[in-house]
Chains A and B, each alone.
Chain A
Amino acid sequence: MDFSLDKKHEMARKLFNDFAETEVKPLAQEVDETERFPQETVDKMAKAGFMGIPVPKEYGGQGCDPLTYIMCVEELSKVCGTTGVIVSAHTSLCIDPILTYGTEEQKQKYVRPLATGEKLGAFALTEPGAGTDAQGAQTKAVLDGDEWVLNGSKCFITNGKVADVYIVIAITSITEDKKGRKKKNFSAFIVDKGAPGFSFGTKEKKMGIRGSSTYELIFEDCRIPKENILGPEGKGFPIAMHTLDGGRIGIAAQALGIAEGALDRAIAYTKERKQFGRSIAAQQNTQFKLADMAARIDAAQMLVYKAAIAKANQKVYSVEAAKAKLFAAETAMAVTTQVVQLFGGYGYIREYDVERMMRDAKITEIYEGTSEVQRMVISGALLK
């Protein structure tokens, strides 16, 4: 077992770190304050190849492994949680299912412009009445001649409105089991922005990751070509679940990055800030807190990297992804809360970045499967 990164990954980290410090960090505070989607950063990331890192070169990607992609999300999130999730949702939730389940035509048509960053991707599963319990979903798709007709709405969609390509999960049939219970069967669809009948509802005003564009999607007799179904009809639920397994590693990396960023700030601040005539880093309370945070972050990083490597080598990696996300998200929340405490009053004001990090951290315990869902996945595997 080797826990050190090879030269390729070391250099990739240096690249992501340089980019984050130079291009992303200066905008982070303003993007949060004004709830503005950082389009200019996305354009720069497209140029630098960050929008298709784990995508094979034949589809316009960088041909790197999932670990490289995860390190990108991690480094971006160190300075700006918003930027981290833009890349994560685009890559894990939109490109990945098309690459995994798409036909060659779909890959050529959709993956290439997504991987080069010419287009941005999003994923739509959650509905007002169906969060953790996907069976509560209402959005339907009906085949009408050469077109699928979608009706319903999706909510809390990351990259909503700014994305060009949406993976949408919708009910395509309802069957009864032997006991007469109704079961909704889902299918996955690729929906282009601008499809007739596809519009956007209100923009969500969020606690954190405020520069990320979160919208409601509305489908009113939305017509898309028949060939835009992704994977076999009726297999939408397993496709969504498998997609979320990958997505969770991305969110775990986001959480990890937020925690690392907060710890970096804490180290710098506690060395500078003087109370009672000496730096607060000279006080044992601070030192022990920093030590605990560093150890916990290291553990989170190992889980996240292990999950990324599992994704590269295994067909199924649900448990690895769930453990990584559970632990990294709770680490992010715990670390950022501690860091705000170490900053004292300065931690609570917006001039310093750590209160933003604490707000950004919270969502990682919620989206793409709450911490409770991750525990269900992990325990389910233990007890099966």
Chain B
Amino acid sequence: MKIVVCIKQVPDTKGGVKFNPDGTLDRAGMLAIMNPDDKAGLEAALRIKDETGAEVTVVTMGLPKADDVLREAMAMGADKAILVTDRVLGGADTWATSTTIAGALRNIDYDLIITGRQAIDGDTAQVGPQIAEHLGIPVISYAADIKVEGDSIIVKRQYEDRYHELKAKMPCLVTALSELNVPRYMTPGGIFDAYDKEVTVWGRKDLKDVDDGDIGLAGSPTKIAKASDKVRKGAGEKVVLDPTESVAYIMGKLKERHVI
């Protein structure tokens, strides 16, 4: 069995958000990490590997420095890694990104493709289902559990107030929730091995059945009109009072604002 896991290198927005003195986001100051949902997807793949001996290939599209997350994935136990990088791919929206990754995946054999549900930088949750659509395979989003059963997979598909247990014939694509599992740590020996292995690097010419008009900024149907770091609601009053005075203060404000 061959599993492909699509991963993305993202700035760590959890806990480590940094701002420049002018209030804008300090992107360079934030750590680059493997996107958490993708890491859960990788862990799910590695558990299938532990059970069945499946081969796990990780794929990412990004800048050359995304090599780091591929090494990390191999240090956790992935067998092979592919980096899709090319200047003409820059500025891609989800449509162009999914087109590109689908073009890369057409070169390799797979039974199961796992992506994270969404990346913490974009939060779109679109690339996984769109890859499946471009490849013409079924997609099961929001997986909270994945099991392999013969030539099919059984997935617990999470909704707000319920889950569906779904069965799909492979090949298919599943998007993983970070709640799926707790990803394993890399091992020190795995790290050493990961740097001794080769990462396959593909560019534009390696993408199969992809038009020039469907990649990068030019191939992106959505365009950014304006982007800014969010201006937050300003602070109001802050008081330090003893408990009795604090209560009186709150009561006063609730009356003033006609809450009571």
Contact = CB atoms under 8 A, between A and B. Distances in A.
Direct A–B contact present (CB less than 8 angstroms):
yes
Interface stretch (A56-64, A156-164, A286-294): A56-64
A262 to B, nearest CB: 22
A59 to B, nearest CB: 12
Contacts of B187: 48-49, 62
B192 A63 contact: yes
B191 A8 contact: yes
A267 to B, nearest CB: 15
A53 interface: yes
Interface in A5-51: 7-8, 11-12, 15, 18-19, 47-50
Which of B185, B188, B189, B194 has its CB near the most chain A CB atoms (within 10 A)? B188
A151 B72 CA distance: 50
Nearest to B189: A62
B75 interface: yes
Contacts of A72: 188
A50 B188 CA distance: 7
Which of A15, A47, A63, A72 has its CB near the most chain B CB atoms (within 10 A)? A15
A384 to B, nearest CB: 37
Contacts of A254: none
A63 B189 contact: yes
Given A62-B192, A63-B192, A64-B192, A11 B185 contact: no
B80 interface: no
A63 B195 CA distance: 13
B186 interface: yes
A331 interface: no
Contacts of A11: 68, 71-72, 75, 186, 191, 194-195
B191 A15 contact: yes
A342 B32 CA distance: 33
B185 A8 contact: no
The number of chain A residues touching the other chain, given as a range, is: 10 to 19
Nearest to A44: B185
Interface string B181-205: 0001111111110110000000000
B185 A18 contact: yes
Contacts of A48: 184-187
Contacts of A57: 189
A214 interface: no
A149 B197 CA distance: 51
Interface in A60-89: 61-64, 68, 72
Contacts of B192: 8, 62-64, 68
B188 A68 contact: yes
The number of chain B residues touching the other chain, given as a range, is: 10 to 19
Nearest to A7: B195
Contacts of B189: 49, 53, 57, 61-64
A250 to B, nearest CB: 15
Contacts of B195: 7-8, 11
A53 B188 CA distance: 7
A180 B103 CA distance: 86
Contacts of A53: 188-189
Interface in B184-229: 184-192, 194-195
Contacts of B184: 47-48
A36 B133 CA distance: 55
Nearest to A69: B188
A2 to B, nearest CB: 17
A19 B75 CA distance: 15
B207 to A, nearest CB: 28
Contacts of B68: 11
Interface in B12-66: none
Contacts of A50: 188
Contacts of B186: 11, 15, 48
Contacts of B75: 11, 15
B71 A62 contact: no
A145 to B, nearest CB: 42
Contacts of A15: 75, 185-186, 188, 191
Contact of B188 (A7, A12, A18, A47): A12
Interface in A198-257: none
A61 B68 CA distance: 24
Nearest to B196: A8
A62 B188 contact: yes
Q: Nearest 3 pairs between A and B by C-beta?
A: A62-B189, A49-B187, A48-B185
6 contacts: A7-B71, A8-B192, A48-B187, A49-B188, A49-B190, A63-B189
Interface of B: 68, 71-72, 75, 184-192, 194-195
Given A11-B71, A49-B190, 5 more contacts: A11-B186, A15-B75, A47-B185, A63-B192, A68-B192
